[in-house]
Amino acid sequence: MSDSPAPSFLLPQPDGDSEPFWEGCAAGELRVQSCAACGRRRMPPRPMCPWCRSLDHTWAATSGRGTVWSFVVSHPPLLAAYAAEAPYNVVVVALDEDPSIRFVGNLVASADGPLGEVDPATIVIGEPVEVCFGTEVDGVAMPRWTRPLPMS
Ligand SMILES: [Zn+2]
**What string of pLDDT tens digits covers the 152 residues of the chain?**
446 666 678 888 889 999 999 999 999 999 999 999 999 999 999 999 999 999 999 999 999 999 999 999 999 899 998 998 899 999 999 999 999 999 999 999 999 999 889 999 999 999 999 999 988 887 789 999 999 987 76
Q: In angstroms, rounded to a whole number, what is the distance separating the alpha carbons of residues 148 and 22?
A: 23
Asked whether residue 6 is domain-assigned, the answer is no
Asked whether residue 31 is domain-assigned, the answer is yes
Closest CA to 109 of 132, 75, 81, 125: 132
Collapsing DSSP to helix, strand or coil, 33 comes out as strand
User: DSSP code of 140?
Assistant: B
* Same domain? 78 vs 55: no
Q: In angstroms, rounded to a whole number, what is the distance separating the alpha carbons of residues 117 and 83?
A: 14
Residue 26 phi, psi dihedral angles, 5° rounding: -65, -25
Quote the ligand 1 centre to 3 CA distance (angstroms): 52
Asked whether residue 9 is domain-assigned, the answer is no
Residue 70 phi, psi dihedral angles, 5° rounding: -165, 170
Quote the ligand 1 centre to 47 CA distance (angstroms): 11
Output the pLDDT for position 1.
Answer: 46
Quote the ligand 1 centre to 61 CA distance (angstroms): 18
Quote the ligand 1 centre to 94 CA distance (angstroms): 21
Quote the ligand 1 centre to 152 CA distance (angstroms): 42
Residue 65: strand pairing partners: 130
Quote the ligand 1 centre to 97 CA distance (angstroms): 17
Quote the ligand 1 centre to 42 CA distance (angstroms): 9
Q: Look up the domain containing 134 and give its range.
A: 63-152
Quote the ligand 1 centre to 32 CA distance (angstroms): 14
- Count of domains forming the chain: 2
